[in-house]
Amino acid sequence: MAVIQVDGKDLRYDLNPDPLRKDRLTGVFIHGSGGDRLDWKYQLNGLPDSINVIALDLPGHGRSQGPPAESIEAASQVVKQFIHNLGLERVMVVGCSLGSAIALHLALEGQSWLKGLGLVGAGARLRVLPAILDATLSAPEKAAAMVAHWALSQDADQSLKDELTQKMAQAPERLLHTDLSACNDFDALNRLKTESIKTPAWIIVGEDDKLTPVKYSKFLNDSIKNSRLDILPDAGHLAMIESPVEFNEKFKEFINWAAL
Ligand code: COA
């Protein structure tokens, strides 16, 4: 694990290889609500040698200093600064859920270093079921259990379900509320209808994703000109954990397709 200061706070990240090879494309992987860099453990070592891989703990998550960002815009600024401070010049930002909103926001802003987008369990709008959002304040343990339950496909291994439930329950107080509120406020549906994203985009979603249904990914695929959509059977919202082999295979196919 490595650490870098962003806005005076320590942000922690895993990287492969260490040190990074500056001449190569770097995939910067960003977790979703209540998550951390370990959500990408299967990507850290499972992707082609031709790219660098970084998995970041957003502020207030995992081992990074808080507080967590309260909006997608604020979180995007942190990621932008993180990439700048590392001196990365060719980046593919891959985000899951909340992370995908950050990736979309950066693409809509138009960053010269952004060469590819990865949108996992994504949506141009991420409204949260009021029952979940309310519970993040009134009954945090219940909210954590609900999110863990809905994030995986029905057929996921019980051990994976237990692991995720425990992780969500152990998240710092109010973290899930802050993250899900930021998602709930994110709405780029209209911008995507009128503005064009030129960055090549890989959109991947589990067929059994109940938090960001396949329809949301199809909308992204229709709205982004240079995009490719993969729908993974037997996976839910966290496809990178549930079907890591297929996920990594599809990632490689995208890298080749987009000639990154
Ligand atoms: N991409 C494309 N279409 C979208 C969309 C997206 N990101 N978000 C909403 N829409 C569509 C809906 O499919 C619906 O289309 P329809 O009228 O043709 O059926 C329309 O926009 C209105 O959406 P609706 O779901 O009625 O309202 P909403 O966007 O305000 O959502 C919720 C309210 C919370 C009930 C709904 O978003 C939901 O069930 N979300 C999934 C559960 C959740 O909490 N996810 C967390 C994400 S982090």
Considering only CA atoms, which of 102, 96, 101 is closest in space to residue 152? 96
Q: Residue with the nearest Cα to atom 29 of ligand 1?
A: 127
Cα(37)–Cα(57) distance, rounded to whole angstroms?
Answer: 5
Is 11 a pocket residue for ligand 1 (Cβ < 6 Å)? Answer: no
Average confidence score pLDDT of the chain: 96
Ligand 1, atom 3, residue with closest C-alpha: 216
Contact 186 CB / ligand 1 (< 6 Å): no
* Span 129-148, pLDDT tens digits: 999 999 999 999 999 999 99
Tokens read off for 134:
């309310």
pLDDT tens digits for range 39-83: 999 999 999 989 999 999 999 999 999 999 999 999 999 999 999
**In this structure, what token pair is assigned to residue 141?**
């343990």
The structure's pTM equals: 0.97
